[in-house]
Amino acid sequence: MAVERLASLARSTDVGDRVVALRHDLHESFPRGRFDLICAHYLHTPAHLDRATVLRSAAHALRQGGRLLVVDHGSTAPWSWNQDRDLRYPGPREVAADLGLDETTWTVERADSPRRIAEGPDGRTAEVTDHVLLLHRTA
Ligand SMILES: C[S@@+](CC[C@H](N)C(=O)[O-])C[C@H]1O[C@@H](n2cnc3c(N)ncnc32)[C@H](O)[C@@H]1O
């Protein structure tokens, strides 16, 4: 659905011929190519997902000078499907450490936890925390 929506939006703009919308099960495959920017926003799911492996593949798919932006939930919104009080959200430095990347090739440019006012699907608003990690491939 999101992939079709992106493809349709792209077609309605004058950059449509530069946008490629693909569906991948990231456990099985990763889009081919070398990228300047890869974004992974809220890559959380109740299904099994080996996030570290997927994000490591993303870091390796950057070209030199490219960046990987990972934005994760850092708190539970009142409308979240997961209201487990014991749920712990790994901080951005922990996420980076889990990837086990060579620090001479990938450096952490940003690792912080800003707060923002979010709007839920029912229109309610609440203050939430995001965990933001920005990795830069320097070599
Ligand atoms: C919480 S949603 C976030 C969606 C979107 N990035 C956003 O910010 O609104 C988590 C996303 O992870 C994707 N996802 C989970 N497991 C995946 C997998 N194995 N391969 C590809 N995508 C996966 C789901 O399809 C879903 O779109």
- The structural domains of the chain, ordered by start, are 1-31 (no CATH), 33-137 (3.40.50.150)
Residue 129 main-chain phi, psi, to 5 deg = -110, 140
pLDDT given at position 82: 86
**Total Cβ atoms within 10 A of residue 130:** 19
Burial class (CB in 10 A: 0-12, 13-18, 19+), 46: exposed
The rounded distance, in Å, linking the Cα atoms of 52 and 101 is 11
Does residue 40 have its Cβ closer than 6 Å to ligand 1?
Answer: no
93-123 pLDDT, tens per residue? Answer: 999 999 999 999 999 999 999 999 999 999 9
Question: Ligand 1: distance of its center to the CA of 62 in Å?
Answer: 20
Q: Whose CA is nearest to atom 11 of ligand 1?
A: 43
30-80 pLDDT, tens per residue? Answer: 999 999 999 999 999 989 999 999 999 999 999 999 999 999 999 999 999
What is the CA 64 to chain-centroid distance, rounded?
A: 19
